[in-house]
Structure 1
Amino acid sequence: MSAKVRKQSSNTGFIVALAGIIIAGGGFIWWKTQSTPAQETLVLPSVADSALAQKAHGYTMGSPTAAVEIIEFADFECPACGNFATITEPDVRKNLVETGLARYTFYDFPLLNAHQNTVPASMSAACADDQGKFWPMHDMIFTGQVEWNGIATSNPRKVLAGYAEKLGLDMPKWNGCMDAGTHTERIKANYSLGMMKQVNSTPTFYVNGEKMQGAANYDDIKAAVDAVIAGLRPISAGADSAPAAAPKP
């Protein structure tokens, strides 16, 4: 074997090893772009950061004047989040959001110590949001979770790009957004808001400030919404003032 081949082989092995590194808390995740290799890092706070949390920018559907606010903190690679998104959420949208009873906001809460492809998925959805397609991308990502998750591939970019193409997105714009990591700060801020609200697993829901942890079913959420409408549970600030420990998967 020539020195050149040995060097290339060594470099390839290093890249593959690096791609698998995930550190919890103040950790980072690495992924490769579809065209040229690039290292992207996302460092998340290990304790709640109120200043960063104030910059949180979720993704909302429904009337801004709806009496009920449903908030979800989720990880795109989380199986329980995928089950909720594909089984329960369609009923929540149809019966609660589209009827004007509630508005629904999704916040990223990536669990880097468990899911190596969650950040590219969050970035893909955020870049789709730039073109008004967050929710369609959200749905495709969760529906196709087994195609792009860490078990299926170490490089989800090709699959995510396929979703973007199916949605008719401006691909140069979407690819540019992905390559630049344009929404890194948004993802970090959304995560920090979850920390402020003491989120430590996904999915976690808040219905007018009342915490509901785990993959709640439709009846659970409907009951919480009905309670608000009946005047039994006014909007509250929730638990967003107390720092939380670093989440565990």
Structure 2
Amino acid sequence: MRRSYVFIAIVILLATSLLIVFGLSALPRLRPTDAEGESVTGRLLTPLSEPTYSFINPTRGMVNAPLTIYQFSDYTCSACASMEPVLEQILSDYQTQVRLVWKDFPHVGLQQESINAAMAARCAGLQGAFWEYHDLLLAEGLPLMNLSSYVALAAQLNVDLASFENCLGQEQTRAVVERDFEEGLRLNIDATPYFFIGQRRVSGGLTYEQMAGFIRHELDR
């Protein structure tokens, strides 16, 4: 009889484990791939040589600045957060010369937290508060584990909370985040932060002196 109970317990444990595995695998996920593999939506990806810009990309600095810096970043990345003071100083010192463009590149290993944060910032952006929410996320630190945590951050800003909550709950900005992610894959980006400074590609954190040096070099071309 004792062996029967043990056998039944093992069967139940195995069945539960399988349900968990298959349940998690059924969730929609971003995944890394090579530049010529399939995208998160199943489309064939073709390589890119440089980032693209559209009106939906959050930007800082003068629109017609002679030099554009594309920043592929992630809210769960400590090296990305450490770049913020450097970028603030760069934008202050090169006000008329540099424009910064934000691109989401969620961390696949911490995917859901990373995607949720990116979608939340984009939802705030629909109400003109992207950068303010972006700054709150970095100051708060991640992960934030549920929808109410992101709504609580939004409550610190002058945004319509019902619209924000609906946007995030319905994942209305997920397609925008996925588009940036796919563009990063097409550019062979494999880490964050990642910068395109004019014609130069730079991976990883930079000091102010390093970034300023790259900027001066590109401006002198």
Category of TM-score, reference length = shorter chain: 0.7 to 0.9
Higher alpha-carbon Rg? 2
Runs of 5+ consecutive residues of structure 2 not aligned to the other structure: 1-15, 36-44
Cross-structure match for 1:47: 34
Cross-structure match for 2:169: 179
174-183 vs 45-54, which deviates more? 45-54
The whole-number CA distance in structure 2 between the counterparts of 1:206 and 1:197 is: 10
User: Does the aligned pair in 2 maintain the 1:72–1:204 contact within 8 Å?
Assistant: yes
Cross-structure match for 1:143: 139
User: Does the aligned pair in 2 maintain the 1:62–1:102 contact within 8 Å?
Assistant: yes
User: Residue 120 of structure 2: SS of its match in structure 1?
Assistant: helix
The whole-number CA distance in structure 1 between the counterparts of 2:216 and 2:122 is: 31
- Going by fraction, where is helix more abundant, 1 or 2? 2
- Pairing 1:90-239 to 2, within 5 Å after superposition: 90-96=88-94, 99-145=95-141, 148-149=142-143, 155-231=145-221
User: Does the aligned pair in 1 maintain the 2:30–2:111 contact within 8 Å?
Assistant: no
Residue 79 of structure 1 pairs with residue 78 of structure 2: yes
Query: How far does the alpha carbon of each residue in 1:112-160 deviate from its partner, in whole angstroms, 9 at most, with x for none?
Result: 2235411110010000110011111111111111xx41xxx5x242222
User: Residue 117 of structure 1: SS of its match in structure 2?
Assistant: helix
- Per the normalisation by structure 2, the TM-score is 0.77
1:104 is displaced (CA, Å) by 0.2
User: Does the aligned pair in 2 maintain the 1:125–1:134 contact within 8 Å?
Assistant: yes
Aligned in 2, Cα 1:114/1:126: closer, same or farther, shift over 3 Å? same
1:184 is displaced (CA, Å) by 1.2
Runs of 5+ consecutive residues of structure 1 not aligned to the other structure: 1-12, 29-40, 232-249
Same amino acid, percent of matched pairs:
20
1:58 is displaced (CA, Å) by 2.6
User: Does the aligned pair in 1 maintain the 2:104–2:177 contact within 8 Å?
Assistant: yes
- Per the normalisation by structure 1, the TM-score is 0.68
Letter in 2 for 1:78: C
Query: How far does the alpha carbon of each residue in 1:191-223 deviate from its partner, in whole angstroms, 9 at most, with x for none?
Result: 111112111001011101311110111111111
